A and B are shown apart, each in its own frame.
Chain A
Amino acid sequence: MRADQSRATRLTLRTIALLYLGLLVAVPVGMVFYNAFSDGLAAAWASVTTPEAQHAFWLTIVMVAIAVPLNTIFGITAALSLVRGRWRGKTIVSALIDVPFAVSPVVVGLALILVYGRQGWFGGWLTEHGIQVIFSVPGMVIATIFVSLPFVVREVVPVLREIGTEQEQAALTLGASPAQVFWRITLPAIRWGVAYGVILTTARALGEYGAVAVVSGKIVGETQTLTLHVEEQFQQFDLTGAYAASVVLALIAVFVILSMNLLDRRKEKS
């Protein structure tokens, strides 16, 4: 009787969750795929293999490869010190970490130009030393880091709180060094938090338009990420190209999620 009831609840909850996801995400994403391939596979393939699209693809990969590791290291460090440390201003720093989300992407771009642009705070010094930050890859990387900064922290903090410190304490008592404790106990325990943090950071880094667009200078075949390329194709009435490039972005995100699952399975085996 109880089992029946819980089964019914389970089914109801599952149905609601899937229906919601279906209408909100699956159908729109399905439509992106449908539109990308509505002119045939060949047309879609051709539109994502133009030199412009290819360059945009690699630039996107480079941005992700820089922003995600940096934010992951920062995220784990910050989460550990926020949960385990007792220092002044902790609450404020914790709230500051989320601020990048509250800033409209348009304003992020403006802010970076105010600091690193020709007339910006560091602009004079940078120009003197011949360093181009804005309107080149470094500026775009900073913008990407900015908008995807909080994820790892926010994913890891609740998990760290949940697992407590007993195991770590025990290991320390048994004579393990703090480094060993971190690699053998803390990191495995928070791995799901880190994994989801990395997934979200990657996804956000892939999809960001506003902030990156402002600081990119939109130089064709040079400072265009895939997302910027999508916008450009849309501007030029090439909807197939825009949707096909979006499919590529979605596939990169799915690939990252799947590789995270793989990592976990291997870990369970060993």
Chain B
Amino acid sequence: MTRRLFHVLLACLALTVVACGGTSDSSSGGGGSLSLVAYSTPKEAYEEIIPAFAKTPEGEGTRVKQSYGNSGDQAKAVIAGLPADVVALSLQPDIQKLVDEKLVAPDWNKTPTDGFVTNSVVVLAVRKGNPKNITSWDELVKPGVEVVTPNPFTSGGARWNVMAAYGAQIEQGKTPAQAQAYLQELFKHVPVQDKSARESLQTFTSGKGDVLISYENEAITAQQKGEDVDYVIPDQTILIQNPIAVTEDAKNAKTAQAFVDYAVSEPAQKIFVSKGYRSVIPELNDPKEYPEPSGLFTIEKLGGWDKVMQEFFDPEDSVMQKIQESNGVSTG
């Protein structure tokens, strides 16, 4: 009886191995296949863009294998061997990692849109009706205000939030030292540092905190999904720019390039706009829906990502690491 069971188990094992072999064969077959490795937020947009691309002459009948995940993880996966023809990530340093590994050409950003496919801005999401009357960065550090933002060391996207808060102070004429002091004060008001932006939103909608530092497109998506959130665009905020690039070892380089070109073309950009992104084509952004704040700045104004990553986000010695440490030691 037991022996028979053992044989059955063995047979099952053999079958599954065969089945596996079968699956991987069928997936590698088929002409005009493309691998897209992207960060998670634009999944819904790509799910509409891909079928539309497959109807264009350049992309006719293309099958797109898609992988979505945390931007930093996706970059690391590609470095470790995840097949990718097109990479669409949340911030430029993640593409830079691929450039350093010679997986993306160094001139990837020499395009009409500087290598970017979508824009957004950092906003302050608040409870329905804005009960705490939040209108600017200054109100976040008032007594009794709880702010939710992801941990900038676990979430690449949260680095936009930190740089928006910091840059807004500079924009208001503060010195770098004063702006850093603001960051330190701000993080004293953060009772929860989730590992990702999506989890922070979950924390916020589950009732924690008064303000969620978020991206405009995330806040709009949350509203579209029926979550009870409003959002405020502060006068000074950062322009989020999400890069897209073709990889060096793309199996299907021509189609990959065509896909990237399509993604920045008008039809695809309209889809992005419908999902809450700001388009890289300025005319597509309805100023009523997507007003441009007076003090909008880019990361370049703060010295660019290379400098900022070193100065603020080095896990062993940086501004944010020191802030976390001194806040933790004084209150912990």
Contacts and interface: CB of A to CB of B under 8 A. Distances in A.
A170 interface: no
Given A62-B16, A118-B81, A214 B73 contact: yes
A68 to B, nearest CB: 9
Interface string B16-49: 1101100110010000000100001001100000
Chain B CB within 10 Å, residue with most, of A119, A120, A127, A217: A217
B66 interface: yes
Contact of A217 (B10, B67, B222): B67
A183 B225 CA distance: 58
A118 B67 contact: no
A219 B67 contact: yes
B170 interface: no
A234 interface: yes
Interface string B41-85: 001100000000000000000000111110001001101111100
A212 interface: no
A117 B3 CA distance: 39
A65 interface: yes
B235 to A, nearest CB: 29
Given A135-B81, A237-B222, A220 B67 contact: yes
A217 B82 contact: yes
A114 to B, nearest CB: 9
A183 B7 CA distance: 13
B221 interface: yes
B225 to A, nearest CB: 4
Interface residues on B, range: 35 or more
A206 interface: no
A41 interface: no
B284 interface: no
B17 A220 contact: no
A126 to B, nearest CB: 9
A66 interface: yes
Interface string A206-227: 0000000110011110100000
Nearest to A70: B13
A213 B69 CA distance: 9
A236 B164 CA distance: 25
Interface in A107-143: 113, 117-120, 123, 127, 132, 134-138
A86 interface: no
A245 to B, nearest CB: 16
Contacts of A135: 77, 80-83
Contact of A117 (B43, B68, B81): B81
B20 A62 contact: yes
Interface string A155-179: 0000000000000000000000000
A69 interface: yes
Chief secondary structure at chain A's binding surface? helix
A183 B2 contact: yes
A127 B80 CA distance: 11
B66 A220 contact: yes
B3 A137 contact: no
Contacts, number: 84
Chain A CB within 10 Å, residue with most, of B2, B35, B222, B225: B2
A183 B65 contact: no
A78 to B, nearest CB: 17
Interface residues on A, range: 35 or more
A66 B17 contact: yes
Contacts of B202: 234
Contacts of B19: 62
Contact of A65 (B13, B44, B66, B82): B13
B189 interface: no
Interface in B234-264: none
Contact of B81 (A123, A138, A232, A236): A123
Contacts of B309: none
B225 A237 contact: yes
Nearest to B197: A235
A40 interface: no
A117 B40 CA distance: 23
A127 B81 contact: yes
Nearest to B3: A183
Given A137-B23, A218-B68, A220-B67, A117 B9 contact: no
B68 A235 contact: yes
Interface in B207-232: 221-222, 225, 227
A187 B80 contact: no
B249 to A, nearest CB: 11
A21 to B, nearest CB: 25
Contact of B80 (A134, A234, A237): A134
16 contacts: A65-B12, A70-B13, A120-B80, A123-B81, A134-B81, A134-B82, A135-B81, A137-B24, A183-B2, A219-B35, A219-B65, A236-B40, A237-B222, A237-B227, A263-B5, A270-B1
The 9 closest A-B pairs by CB, nearest first: A118-B81, A117-B80, A237-B225, A217-B82, A135-B82, A65-B16, A220-B66, A113-B80, A219-B67
